[in-house]
Each structure stands twice: as structure tokens, then as C-alpha cells.
């Protein structure tokens, strides 16, 4: 029996519970336990990637066979996103143990519960448990967002909570409607039943599917549902904001999974249901994210809007609806998650060096300690997130532009993606000149650069050139990943197969 599939969920769940029960334990113990549990996610993800190369891995909890029981499924996409999450989480928790975890209660327990929700969302094989894991990660994120002090954090946290509670209600209505009509929420079974749906039931199922698109668009911060993200992420503490960089990707992942495997080409009368909506939403998200980045008055605000830009870019790749576009989108997803996470952590270092009076505001402040090193890292992060050669952002955008080929769609994508890059250069040039050149000699300096925090930032930033160096094998892996995504019949056949060993096993 192979229980490896469920460990990315069980490990943070038990670690989080133990951290809650050990409330009076020393901070050293809590930090060590959280760091150990997070570090173990990396070899787990690598092991699951190796297993996924041998075929789909299906785990039936309690030996309840699909479509009746709780099913976890590991394919190439799920294993890849577990790896992306693990790398980001390790950097965030290493940064946090240098003192950011002391700004509020139960940071490490909440961090583990959020990891549990994120990993579960990537692994689940049915819609109801996708809702459950969404709620786990959201509840943890509510508390993590409020971790610390400040009225701005409370205001943005209130908006974030209210909007996501509304989204959760819509999610429940949508899955209740789907279950009432089709009698199942298992993704493999649902894809087959939607393909054979009687004509009278199609409008109701289509309405539920569009409601799900609104929910996932809210989670991913897609226009017109993106406005909560910049204030919420800009107000969060650096390690929390860095971990939140993967949360928008959970929404993108859900759109990709549901509207490729359930409402994709094989969905009969509901085939490609969302395609007409994704393209305009992607372009508008790109435009408004770019405008927000240019108008940002803080470094965290600039990074938050660039995260919105990355969401628009990813959604455009999904809307192109081709094999090459999906490969480019997944490559860009990995790049944007790690680089935006590194930028949030870097912004925290800059804020500490400038002192509490300036925080992350883009106004002249004190001269920074170790300016050569910090400005070099800022330049590296900027050219990567903007998409300039030779780093991974350039490769990701190039893959997407090549996939667009020619035509009206290509014209729009070329114009907006390149225009967004130009505006981002202007925004980062302004930010960099303000932070490193326009100093105020009368301003009191903040704290020194912490080497451990710096190492966490550097580790994430180094992932960008590594994505270029290993682009060949990575693109081979992503090609197989997209092949799996575009073959929902084979996915359904393997998940619904009875070749699953008792109490959950490998297939």
C-alpha cells in the first residue's frame, strides 16, 4: 500500500495540530517543528513527481472506491505544483523564523494549516473536497493576513474575508447544483456525465459552471474581481505575502483543471464553456494590473500589482487554448510564483533597512546598508519579473508569444504583454532610483541586513536562472503534463479503474 500521496496533507495537518497543542513550548521548538515539517514537503514532492512519471497515482481514502469516496489524484500537474509550493514555503518560513513569526500568535500552526489547504487543493479529485481545502487555506490566510498590527492590515483583511466568504457561498451553490443534476462531484465521473448530459439539463449545469468560474476568478484575482489583492498583499507581513503568491495560482489551477477536464473539448453541448470569457478577462487584468503597478506608491503595492499582471498573463495562456500555450503558461506560473515570492521577502528586507518611518514607501529615505548587494538583487529580481533576457521571465513570455502565432489574438497579446513589460521597466526604474539613489541624509537609518533573510531571498531568486539552465528537461515534463490535461478520457479511465489497492494505493 502506497500512502505517499496523502502525506503532503497529513504532514502539515499533524504538525499544525501539534503546534497548537504546544502553546507554552519554547519558540525554538515551534520554529524547529515548523521548519522540519516544511522542509519535508520538498522530498515528498520530488518523490511524487517521480511516481507520477510512471502513471496516475490514485488514493481512495478508507478504501471507498471512486466516485463514491474521497479520492486524491497525483498527475504531473499536481506533483509539479506541490514542488513549487514546497520551495516557496521553505523560503518563507526560513525568513519568518528571524522574528516575523513573533508579530502575532500561532504563526507556525497557521502556516502549516495553510500549506495543508494548498496541497489538498492540488491533490483532490472531487469538487466538494476542493471546496473543503479552499476553506482550510482561506481560514488560515484570514488569520495570517491579520498577523501583526496596523489599521491598514485590519481594513484590507476585512475586505479580504468578506469577499472570500461571498465566494465560498457561491461555491456551495454551484457544487450543490452540479450534484443535484449529475449526481456526482468526482471530477473523473463528472467529466463523463457532463459529456452525456441530456439537453434539458445543459443550461442548469452550464449556469453552475459559470458560477464556478466566478469563484475561481475571485480566488485568482481576475478582472473584475482583482481589487482585493493589492491592498491585502501589500499589508501582509513579508513571509505571509510570499506564501500568498501561490494562492492566486490555486485559482488558476482550478480554472485549468475544471475547464479542461470537465468542461473541455469533450463536454458535449457545454464544450469549451469558459473560453469566450477568459480572453477578455485576461487582457483587462493585464491592462489594469499594469496601470496599478505604474501608480503604486509603495514597493509592496508595486509587487502586488505585478502579481495581478502575472495572473492576466497566465489567463491569456489558458484562453489561447493550445498545447504550446498551456506549456508556456505552466512555465510562466513556476517563474512568477517564485520571483514574486522573492520580491515580497526582499521588500521586507528593504523596509527593515529603511526603518519604521518609511516602511515600503517609495519616497527618499536613509542610505541603505550594503547598498551594492541590495541593488544588485533588486536589479536581478526586476529583470526577471519584467521578463527581460536572459532570465526565466523572458523564456516564459517568449513561449506564450510563440504559441499565439498570428492573427487578432496574437496582436492583442503582443501589444499588451510587451507594453506591460515596458511600463514595468518604468515602474521599477522609479522604485530603484528612489530606494538606492534619492537618499535623505537627515533620515534615521533602520536595521542592518539580516543574512538569513537575505539567504531566503537569494534562494528564490536563483530559481530564475536555474529555470533557464534546466529549461529543456522542464519543458519536456511540462509537455507530458499538458498531454495528460488534454486527455480527460484517460484521466477518467484511470481514476475510475478498480485497480486501486485497498486503503488507498498507487495506480
Please state, in angstroms and rounded to a whole number, the distance separating the CA atoms of residues 319 and 485.
15
- Using one digit for the tens of pLDDT, what is the confidence trace for 181-212? 999 999 999 999 998 888 888 999 999 999 99
Tell me whether the omega of the peptide bond preceding residue 224 falls within 30 degrees of 0, making it cis. yes
Find the range with the poorest average confidence among 163-167, 329-333, 451-455.
163-167
- Residue 237: closest CA among 105, 100, 142: 100
Q: Is the pLDDT of residue 288 over 50?
A: yes
pLDDT at 444: 65
Task: Give the model's confidence band at 265: pLDDT under 50 very low, under 70 low, under 90 confident, else very high.
Answer: confident
Task: List own/partner pairs for 354-359 with CB under 8 A and 24 or more apart.
Answer: 354/435, 354/445, 354/446, 355/443, 355/444, 355/445, 355/446, 355/447, 356/446, 357/443, 357/444, 358/443, 358/446, 359/298
pLDDT at 269: 85
| Range 128-136 average pLDDT | 94
Q: In a 3-state reduction of DSSP, which class is residue 58?
A: strand
Give me the chain's average pLDDT, please: 89
DSSP for 173-192, written as a single string:
HHHHHHHHHHS--BHHHHHH
Count Cα neighbours of 295 within 13 Å in the Cβ-side half-sphere. Answer: 7
In degrees and rounded to multiples of 5, residue 317 shows phi and psi of -65, -40
- Using one digit for the tens of pLDDT, what is the confidence trace for 29-76? 999 999 999 999 999 999 999 988 888 888 888 777 777 788 999 999
Q: Is the pLDDT of residue 222 over 50?
A: yes
Q: In a 3-state reduction of DSSP, which class is residue 60?
A: strand
Q: Are 381 and 461 in contact (CB under 8 A)?
A: yes
| Range 464-473 average pLDDT | 95
Neighbouring CB atoms inside 10 A of 197's CB total 18
Q: Is the pLDDT of residue 142 over 70?
A: yes
Please state, in angstroms and rounded to a whole number, the distance separating the CA atoms of residues 145 and 32.
22
Q: Are 104 and 146 in contact (CB under 8 A)?
A: yes
pLDDT at 65: 77
- Using one digit for the tens of pLDDT, what is the confidence trace for 476-493? 999 999 999 999 888 888
Q: Is the pLDDT of residue 456 over 60?
A: yes
In degrees and rounded to multiples of 5, residue 60 shows phi and psi of -100, 105
- Percent of the chain's residues with pLDDT above 90: 62
pLDDT at 408: 87
Q: Is the pLDDT of residue 236 over 90?
A: no
pLDDT at 22: 85
Amino acid at each position: 500500500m502506497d500512502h505517499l500521496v496523502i502525506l503532503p496533507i497529513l504532514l502539515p495537518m499533524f504538525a499544525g495540530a501539534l503546534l497548537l497543542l504546544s502553546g507554552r513550548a519554547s519558540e525554538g521548538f515551534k520554529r524547529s517543528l515548523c521548519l522540519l515539517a516544511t522542509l519535508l514537503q520538498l522530498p515528498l514532492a520530488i518523490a511524487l513527481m517521480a511516481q507520477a512519471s510512471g502513471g496516475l497515482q490514485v488514493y481512495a481514502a478508507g478504501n471507498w472506491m471512486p466516485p463514491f469516496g474521497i479520492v486524491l489524484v497525483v498527475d504531473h500537474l499536481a506533483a509539479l505544483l506541490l514542488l513549487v509550493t514546497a520551495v516557496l514555503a521553505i523560503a518563507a518560513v526560513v525568513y519568518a523564523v528571524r522574528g516575523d513569526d513573533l508579530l502575532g500568535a500561532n504563526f507556525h500552526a497557521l502556516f502549516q494549516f495553510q500549506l495543508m489547504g494548498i496541497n489538498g487543493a492540488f491533490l483532490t479529485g472531487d469538487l466538494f473536497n476542493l471546496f473543503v481545502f479552499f476553506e482550510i487555506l482561506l481560514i488560515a490566510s484570514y488569520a495570517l493576513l491579520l498577523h501583526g498590527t496596523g489599521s491598514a492590515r485590519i481594513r484590507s483583511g476585512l475586505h479580504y474575508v468578506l469577499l472570500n466568504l461571498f465566494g465560498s457561498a457561491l461555491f456551495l451553490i454551484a457544487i450543490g447544483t452540479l450534484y443535484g443534476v449529475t449526481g456526482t462531484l468526482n471530477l473523473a465521473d463528472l467529466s463523463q456525465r457532463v459529456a452525456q448530459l441530456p439537453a434539458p439539463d445543459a443550461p442548469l449545469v452550464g449556469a453552475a459552471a459559470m458560477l464556478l468560474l466566478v469563484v475561481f476568478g475571485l480566488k485568482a484575482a481576475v478582472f473584475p474581481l482583482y481589487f482585493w489583492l493589492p491592498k491585502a498583499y501589500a499589508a501582509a507581513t513579508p513571509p505571509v505575502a510570499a506564501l500568498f503568491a501561490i494562492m492566486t495560482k490555486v485559482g488558476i489551477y482550478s480554472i485549468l483543471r475544471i475547464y479542461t477536464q470537465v468542461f473541455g473539448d469533450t463536454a458535449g453541448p457545454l464544450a469549451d464553456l469558459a473560453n469566450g470569457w477568459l480572453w477578455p478577462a485576461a487582457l483587462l487584468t493585464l491592462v489594469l494590473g499594469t496601470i496599478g503597478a505604474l501608480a503604486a506608491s509603495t514597493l509592496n503595492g508595486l509587487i502586488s500589482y505585478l502579481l495581478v499582471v502575472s495572473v492576466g498573463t497566465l489567463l491569456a495562456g489558458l484562453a489561447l487554448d493550445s498545447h504550446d500555450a498551456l506549456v508556456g503558461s505552466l512555465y510562466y506560473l513556476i517563474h512568477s510564483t517564485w520571483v514574486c515570492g522573492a520580491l515580497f521577502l526582499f521588500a521586507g528586507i528593504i523596509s527593515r533597512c529603511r526603518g519604521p518611518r518609511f516602511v515600503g514607501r517609495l519616497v527618499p529615505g536613509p542610505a541603505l546598508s550594503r547598498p551594492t548587494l541590495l541593488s544588485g538583487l533588486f536589479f536581478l529580481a526586476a529583470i526577471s519579473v519584467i521578463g527581460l533576457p536572459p532570465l526565466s521571465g523572458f523564456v516564459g513570455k517568449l513561449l506564450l508569444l510563440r504559441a499565439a502565432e498570428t492573427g487578432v489574438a496574437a496582436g492583442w497579446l503582443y501589444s499588451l504583454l510587451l507594453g506591460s513589460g515596458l511600463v514595468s521597466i518604468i515602474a521599477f526604474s522609479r522604485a530603484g532610483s528612489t530606494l538606492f539613489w534619492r537618499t535623505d541624509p537627515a533620515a534615521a537609518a533602520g536595521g542592518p541586513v539580516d543574512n538569513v533573510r537575505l539567504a531566503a531571498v537569494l534562494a528564490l531568486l536563483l530559481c530564475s536562472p536555474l529555470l533557464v539552465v534546466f529549461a529543456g528537461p522542464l519543458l519536456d515534463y511540462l509537455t507530458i503534463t499538458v498531454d495528460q490535461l488534454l486527455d480527460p478520457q484517460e484521466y477518467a479511465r484511470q481514476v475510475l479503474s478498480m485497480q486501486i489497492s485497498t486503503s488507498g494505493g498507487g495506480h
